[in-house]
Amino acid sequence: MQFATPLIPARLIRRYKRFLADMTLDDGREITAHCANPGSMMGLAEPGMRCWLEPNDDPKKKLNYGWRLVDHENGHFTGVDTSLPNRALKAALMAHEVPGLPAYELVRPEVKYGENSRIDFLLSGPEGDIYVEVKSVTLSRTPGLAEFPDSVTARGTKHLGELARVVHAGGRAVMLYLIQRTDCTSMTLAADIDTAYANGFVAAQQAGVEVLAIDTLLSPEGITLGKPVRFEAP
């Protein structure tokens, strides 16, 4: 998936109120960008970090820039927009290019299920329905190792329970972690950050929920799915 508008570089001044970030553009102008990330962004929001922004001229949007990438300035990038993985994944699902998932005839996003929940993708095919929940992974505290979550996520724990109930009812459910970092080759859970989520994951996996961790190819040009990586149980 290519970015709709060419990205421009900037330096982070500060991130605040979760969804706002002040930046300095290369020409010296200071602007405010939308930060589409509700997490803590641990290690990704330090003042002075090089970032990539997507400009827009949409009069319906309050801000003219969206924060898309952190540039680690060593050849690696992290995607900070948590909406991008689902968009990239949808394109890959439509093309039947997601490793670990069989052929399917219909891809439906945001389908209601469970207790006031929506599954990210409901896949339908010859082998029946597959419920796929997607989480964007951006945290890395150990070189090469991605972690989820970067903050407490009661919503994420609820989703694990919903997936387990799908399996108990005879269905198939997949927890898919999409790693928005180009510097990680394996993944685990940050149990020290959210013990309840880690416990919910263990219960879901024991119930039969499948787990996939897939990396991404990121650059200022766009984002595409990469390959499966090793998942290390907590």
Sheet holding 117-125, edge to edge: 106-113, 117-125, 128-137, 172-179, 210-219, 222-228
Query: Domain spans of the chain?
Result: 8-75, 84-231
Give residue 104's pLDDT: 87
Average pLDDT, the chain: 94
Q: For residue 13, give both structure tokens.
A: 């001044």
Rounded distance between C-alpha atoms, residue 85 and residue 95, angstroms: 15
Rounded distance between C-alpha atoms, residue 148 and residue 182, angstroms: 15
Give residue 84's pLDDT: 87
Mean pLDDT of 180-189: 97
Mean pLDDT of 101-120: 90
Considering the segment(s) 8-75 as one domain, its CATH architecture is Beta Barrel (2.40)
Give residue 116's pLDDT: 84
* CB of 82 closer than 8 Å to CB of 36: yes
pLDDT band of 115, cuts 50, 70, 90: confident
Mean pLDDT of 190-212: 97
> For 206-223, what is each residue's pLDDT tens digit?
999 999 999 999 999 999
Rounded distance between C-alpha atoms, residue 215 and residue 137, angstroms: 9
* CB of 148 closer than 8 Å to CB of 75: no
SS3 34: strand
> For 15-57, what is each residue's pLDDT tens digit?
999 999 999 999 999 999 999 999 999 999 999 999 999 998 8
The answer to whether residue 107 scores a pLDDT higher than 80 is yes
> For 128-173, what is each residue's pLDDT tens digit?
899 999 999 999 999 999 999 999 999 999 999 999 999 999 999 9
Alpha carbon separation from 38 to 70, 82, 167 (Å, rounded): 16, 8, 29
Rounded distance between C-alpha atoms, residue 49 and residue 15, angstroms: 11
Q: Look at the alpha carbons of 75, 6, 39, 29 in this order and tell me if their dihedral is positive or negative.
A: positive
What is the pTM (predicted TM-score) of this model? 0.94
Give residue 49's pLDDT: 98
The Cβ-side half-sphere exposure at 86, using a 13 Å CA radius, reads 16
* CB of 211 closer than 8 Å to CB of 165: no
What is the percent of the chain where pLDDT is above 90?
82
E strand or H helix that includes residue 85: helix 84-94
CATH class as words, domain 84-231: alpha beta
pLDDT band of 105, cuts 50, 70, 90: confident
Beta strands in 35-79 (DSSP E): 50-55, 65-71, 77-79
